[in-house]
Structure 1
Amino acid sequence: MGQSNSSTSSSSSKRRDESNSCKSMAVIVPEKKIIVDEDVYRYREYISELPDDCLAYVFQSLSSGDRKRCSLVCKRWLLVEGESRHRLSLNAKADLNLSISTLFTRFNSVTKLALKCDRKGVSIGDDGFILISLRCRNLTRLKLRACREITDAGMESFAKNCKSLKKLSFGSCTFGAKGMNAILNHCSFLEELSVKRLRGIADGSPAVPIGPGVAAGSLKSICLKELYNGQCFGPLIAAAKNLRSLKLFRCSGDWDVLLESISNRVTGLVEVHLERLQVSDRGIAALSSCLDLEILHLVKTPECTNAALVSIADRCKLLRKLHIDGWKTNRIGDEGLMAIAKRCPNLQELVLIGVNPTNVSLGHLGNCRNLERLALCGSETIGDPEISCIASKCTALKKLCIKGCPVSNHAMEALVGGCPNLVKVKVKKCRGVTSDGLIWFRAFRQSVVINLDISGKENVEANTSDGGPPEPSVEVLEVVNQITASIPSSSDGRTSSPKARLGLFVGRNFASCTFPRWSNSNNSDGV
């Protein structure tokens, strides 16, 4: 009994010692530290000690919705979030005038502003627009959409208050040439200008020239869309000696004269987009004086012929991207494409829509050792032989798109043995290509991502990450199994490379007799 009492007292004293020691120990848990001392608990919250700069950096990494929710946590977060917000997009209806002072008192560091109004609504007017300019003098980017109540006077006052603008974008506005010239005369740092449907310059009065202004010296990009009197921007374009990108979309009038007038002044152009313009070979020949031209888009310009491409190929040796939408006029074909293939070795991307090339020009694409992306859409002459030619010549090709062309499953067979660097193939609205062709291709090029859309009704996509291709038909499965079984294995037990296996499928006669179902389906489709 004595021994038991002594042992009990010793154990209780041990527990008391452990309890006393625990009271002075610090227990650390994520985001907080609890100090236990004489049953008094004190909580230390580290986020409140975070400097405002660090907290602002965290806010800038969040989405817009998360920022709004975080700003409601406490007054400090509301203040820091508002002062660190540099980008703001507002619904620019007329009732915004009542909130401008409150909004820009909270968001006093905005440098990128978008004002958008519903086309059927009434936008803010000159008074609200000028008040915004007084509260945001450090603006560098401005986007206006359907702000029809802003006039030339409002634009002039805004330009005087915000002289640091670098990027401007206008769409469906009603101010005119006077407002545009005010911007160009006061914003000497302007680098990018985009104008779409500026209705003030198409009010029936004589066209007033726009530009050049002090902004012409700094402009690097000009984009004009859907303008009735777009040629009035001619003085601005001609004076922009540092212009690198010129994009003209659906602007009426004859543009040959303007392009010829700037040919000897603006020679540093790198990117040119022309879409639905009245421009002929004269205008394109004038652009060929831009020896640094790398990107050229000719979209639905029916007056351009092979001569235009020949003039570009003769002088623009640095061309990397070429997009042509021939609009099925058959005025651009083998002659122009052959000149590009022979004289533009740096070509990386070629998109042909409504153009009908043949093997005569496609065979020369092998000269373009850097050609990685090729799209052939709506061509009546791109068939199985043409795809076979591309497969054998374009060894650097990585992405291939075929849409609305008379190709069949034999084209997929040709791609099996060609284009060793291919990573993605997209086939759309080619009635001759079926899911069996997809299975055939996937059997030997498993690393290639394939997207197959048959006549807009069937969409089959296969890659290495999904569950694999759909179940093949019995005929195709049997043929693939038989051929794969006959392939010799290497010394380590693995099958040889796809290139070695390809020797079995080189002959077209073999493919025709092995796949009678493909031939029958192609004939029935009229391909």
Structure 2
Amino acid sequence: MSKVFGFAGENDFCPGGPIYTNHKEQNHFLSIRDVYFPLRKRSRISAPFVFTEERFEQKKQASIEVLPDECLFEILRRLPGGDERSACACVSKRWLSLLSNICKDELCSQNESAKTNTQVKSEVEDEGIEGDGYLSRSLEGKKATDIRLAAIAVGTASRGGLGKLFIRGSNSSQGVTKVGLRAIARGCPSLKVLSLWNLLSVGDEGLSEIANGCHKIEKLDLSHCPAITDKGLLAIAKSCPNLTDLVIESCTNIGNEGLQAVGQHCTHLKSISIKNCPAIGDQGIAALVSSASNVLTRVKLQALNVTDVSLAVVGHYGKEVADLVLTSLSNVSERGFWVMGNGQGLKKLKSMTVTSCVGLTDTGLEAVGKGCPNLKQLYLHKCPFLSDNGLVSFAKSAVSLESLLLEECHRITQIGFFGSLLNCGANLKAASLVNCLGIKDLKLDLPELSPCSSLRSLSIRNCPGFGDGSLALVGKLCPQLQNVELSGLQGVTDAGFLPVLENCEAGLVKVNLSGCVNLSDKVVSVMTEQHGWTLEVLNLDGCRRITDSSLVAIAENCFLLSDLDVSKCATTDSGIAAMARSNQLNLQVLSVSGCSMISDKSFPDLVKLGQTLLGLNVQHCNAIRSSTVDVLVERLWRFPITGNLLEVLVSSWPPFPENTVAKFWFQLPFLSVVSGLLLEASQLFLSLYSAWKSFGKCKVSAETVDEMAAKTEN
């Protein structure tokens, strides 16, 4: 200390230099409270020295965050109720992570917390951690993260329990991983339905977490999850015995071993859908179908490397299968379908769909008809080797067939189609031809045969060879038609369609003639006179020869008509006025889209029709000004709304502002009279919100509407 006080002059201290050459001796200097220094100029330093102990020592603020995770975990698991846990989860990601990793068995009940800490009092009672699982949550795109899954696990645990979870991920680096699924597994033991789609970071560990914590899983959908292998599916099979519905799509690492485990352990499996899984072959399909032969009711196989063996197993062991879908099975030959039909196991099959299977030939289809006596629905798409002989032979065998659909089967001709109608028996109710280029008008001299009196619905779409000759046969063979759809048939004229109208005895209910450009007002006039008493839906979209005369005939005769589409027709303001003058016409949906000759003059008539309308389409009516539509919207929404939603479609027409529809939708809640009572804005808004989700016409974002709906509910 003598060196400190016994200095001789200014040279004893070096300006800016240290007092001690040994830095360890500085502690003695800092322990002195009051020290005298002579006045002198010193070198500048970055911060002042403080020589008092209280000021020199940095004060540390007390915080619960200094506790390790183990201590904080013990505190959080002793929270008295679900509301407290949800509130604490909002503090930080760390707290949310800890809360989401607390299992049900690790939670202390309210009584136990009171025993261990008598000072803790809460008026909120825990509503139960494991509920019935009636809540449903969905995450898509960038919202599919581990943090959101953790929040869902904590938030739904005490509010009835999470029952359904749908995750549609993206390729982002912050997607769902095993951490998020672990939170769901520990916090949502009531989960019954799980769908994982496009989750590249989810593998066997994440699926194993679900298997260990969610034993009530009944429906599992794994789509585009390449990291999941047989190991993860094996864990599900062993831990989830209640599995009834399994969907596997584009999971390249799931193979036969996983399906074998499912068939062995999941004894309640009812539905299986497998698509585009190259590692799955005959061994896996055979093991699964044979093990679940007594409960499996629906089988869908698409784009798999299976052969005739799989179809043979389905035909023999599919005793309970009622719905069978086979798509793009390139390795299945004619023999596979023949063996499946003769396997005598598909006695309960009711619906069968075959798409893009080159192995389906006349022989195979005939065998299916004989081996499936209860088959009611048959849908055939892109079967290039199926011809008239096979279709007629099948029709003779399938005595229970009710619905037949043929799409892009180009070897089917007029002979095969009408032959199937004549030989299908008394149960056939609906027949459809879609884009079958082999259909052409032929001069057929058919003998006097009994008509197909059971057929009620006939649909011919985009078959360019189907013309007046074919329609004349329809009129003779199908006298009990009620629903007729002739879409995109440019070869059909008045001469072909009039026999159908004249021979139809039951009365037409729904008629779709969209795209039949050669039909004129004469057809509509005859139709309304003979079938106006039953007609409910009429679609004349694109029939350019339809004029105001047709609208006048409709207004005079079609009192039950509720849906009318005259888009892109030659109708004018006079036709709209004729319908408005009718006192018995009660249209609910009217579409005049693309009618360029309808102008502002129709405004009062549209307002009058709006008293019963629930939907009005005035898109692309270039003669109607946007200001007229604005006034029309304001007038229409004042009419009573009785359980349905009035919709004005104008959003896609460029002259109208983009917010026209949004303006209409959000004006409605503030004033609406239903049955003479003024509804509260909140109740009507919620109903409009639900309808908006279905129609999707509003320009306001979904997030904004969700937020507004939540505020309204509160």
Q: Is the deviation greater in 122-131 or in 107-116? A: 122-131
Offset from partner CA, 1:223-277 (integer Å, 9 cap, x none): 1223343655325412111111111223323443222112232122111111222
Query: Is residue 114–residue 142 contact of structure 1 (8 Å, CA) maintained in 2?
Result: yes
TM-score (norm 1): 0.66
Distance 1:396 1:52 in 2: 59
Distance 2:178 2:135 in 1: 30
Matched letter for residue 510 of structure 2:
K
2:192 aligns with 111
Distance 2:203 2:293 in 1: 28
Distance 2:511 2:347 in 1: 33
1:423 aligns with 2:536: yes
1:84 aligns with 2:194: no
Deviation at 1:95, TM superposition (A): 4.2
Matched letter for residue 181 of structure 1:
Q
1:138 aligns with 2:261: no
Query: Is residue 365–residue 393 contact of structure 1 (8 Å, CA) maintained in 2?
Result: no
1:189 aligns with 2:189: no
Deviation at 1:452, TM superposition (A): 4.2
1:226 aligns with 2:336: no
1:44 aligns with none
Q: Secondary structure at the match of 2:412?
A: coil
Matched letter for residue 148 of structure 1:
P
Query: Is residue 335–residue 361 contact of structure 1 (8 Å, CA) maintained in 2?
Result: no
Structure with the bigger RCO (C-alpha within 8 Å, sep 6+) is 1
Q: Is the deviation greater in 432-441 or in 288-297? A: 432-441
Deviation at 1:51, TM superposition (A): 11
May I ask how many residue pairs the two structures share in their alignment?
404
Query: Is residue 352–residue 376 contact of structure 1 (8 Å, CA) maintained in 2?
Result: no
1:439 aligns with 2:551: yes
Distance 2:415 2:552 in 1: 32
2:354 aligns with 274
1:297 aligns with 379
Distance 2:167 2:596 in 1: 53
Deviation at 1:282, TM superposition (A): 1.4
Distance 2:212 2:137 in 1: 28
Matched letter for residue 493 of structure 2:
G
Matched letter for residue 422 of structure 1:
L
2:286 aligns with 210
1:180 aligns with 2:259: yes
| Alignment partner of 1:375 out of 477, 482, 485 | 485
1:451 aligns with 2:565: yes
2:206 aligns with 128
State how 1:345-356 maps to structure 2 within 5 Å.
345-355=426-436, 356=439
Query: Is residue 386–residue 411 contact of structure 2 (8 Å, CA) maintained in 1?
Result: no
Distance 2:177 2:125 in 1: 35
Sort the Cα spacing of 1:140 and 1:208 in 2 relative to 1 into closer, same or farther, 3 A: closer
Matched letter for residue 563 of structure 2:
V
| Alignment partner of 1:260 out of 338, 341, 344 | 338
Q: Is the deviation greater in 460-469 or in 149-158? A: 460-469
Query: Is residue 249–residue 276 contact of structure 1 (8 Å, CA) maintained in 2?
Result: yes
Matched letter for residue 527 of structure 2:
L
1:307 aligns with 2:389: yes
Matched letter for residue 266 of structure 2:
C
Q: Secondary structure at the match of 1:189?
A: coil
Distance 1:89 1:64 in 2: 5
Distance 1:425 1:445 in 2: 10
Q: Which has the higher strand share?
A: 1
Query: Is residue 373–residue 398 contact of structure 1 (8 Å, CA) maintained in 2?
Result: yes
- The answer for unaligned runs of 5 or more in structure 1 is 1-47, 66-74, 475-527
Deviation at 1:339, TM superposition (A): 3.6
Distance 2:284 2:191 in 1: 34
1:465 aligns with 2:557: no
Sort the Cα spacing of 1:60 and 1:208 in 2 relative to 1 into closer, same or farther, 3 A: closer
Matched letter for residue 376 of structure 1:
L
Deviation at 1:133, TM superposition (A): 1.0
Query: Is residue 313–residue 340 contact of structure 2 (8 Å, CA) maintained in 1?
Result: no
- The answer for unaligned runs of 5 or more in structure 2 is 1-122, 140-152, 440-465, 570-574, 580-585, 599-714
Q: Secondary structure at the match of 1:319?
A: coil
Distance 1:408 1:338 in 2: 28
Q: Secondary structure at the match of 2:210?
A: helix
Distance 1:337 1:160 in 2: 53
Q: Secondary structure at the match of 1:90?
A: strand
Matched letter for residue 286 of structure 1:
A
Sort the Cα spacing of 1:398 and 1:170 in 2 relative to 1 into closer, same or farther, 3 A: farther
2:248 aligns with 170
Distance 1:338 1:347 in 2: 13
Deviation at 1:197, TM superposition (A): 1.2
Q: Secondary structure at the match of 1:80?
A: coil
Distance 1:62 1:142 in 2: 15
2:228 aligns with 150
Distance 1:318 1:144 in 2: 36
Q: Secondary structure at the match of 1:217?
A: coil
Q: Secondary structure at the match of 1:216?
A: coil
Sort the Cα spacing of 1:252 and 1:396 in 2 relative to 1 into closer, same or farther, 3 A: farther
Query: Is residue 135–residue 162 contact of structure 2 (8 Å, CA) maintained in 1?
Result: no
Query: Is residue 472–residue 496 contact of structure 2 (8 Å, CA) maintained in 1?
Result: no
Q: Secondary structure at the match of 1:99?
A: helix
Distance 1:152 1:63 in 2: 27
Identity %: 19
Query: Is residue 231–residue 258 contact of structure 2 (8 Å, CA) maintained in 1?
Result: yes
Sort the Cα spacing of 1:407 and 1:62 in 2 relative to 1 into closer, same or farther, 3 A: farther
Distance 2:230 2:155 in 1: 40
Sort the Cα spacing of 1:473 and 1:98 in 2 relative to 1 into closer, same or farther, 3 A: closer
Sort the Cα spacing of 1:156 and 1:468 in 2 relative to 1 into closer, same or farther, 3 A: closer
1:3 aligns with none
Query: Is residue 380–residue 405 contact of structure 1 (8 Å, CA) maintained in 2?
Result: yes
Cα RMSD (Å) of the superposition? 4.0
Query: Is residue 391–residue 414 contact of structure 1 (8 Å, CA) maintained in 2?
Result: yes
1:8 aligns with none
1:489 aligns with none
Query: Is residue 142–residue 167 contact of structure 1 (8 Å, CA) maintained in 2?
Result: yes
Query: Is residue 249–residue 275 contact of structure 1 (8 Å, CA) maintained in 2?
Result: yes
| Alignment partner of 1:200 out of 253, 257, 279 | 279
Distance 2:138 2:203 in 1: 27
Structure whose alpha-carbon radius of gyration is higher: 2
1:242 aligns with 320
Q: Is the deviation greater in 396-405 or in 153-162? A: 396-405
1:159 aligns with 237
1:70 aligns with none
Sort the Cα spacing of 1:131 and 1:437 in 2 relative to 1 into closer, same or farther, 3 A: farther
1:283 aligns with 364
Query: Is residue 147–residue 172 contact of structure 1 (8 Å, CA) maintained in 2?
Result: yes
TM-score (norm 2): 0.50
Sort the Cα spacing of 1:265 and 1:317 in 2 relative to 1 into closer, same or farther, 3 A: same
Q: Is the deviation greater in 256-265 or in 124-133? A: 256-265
1:510 aligns with none
1:412 aligns with 524
1:325 aligns with 2:407: yes
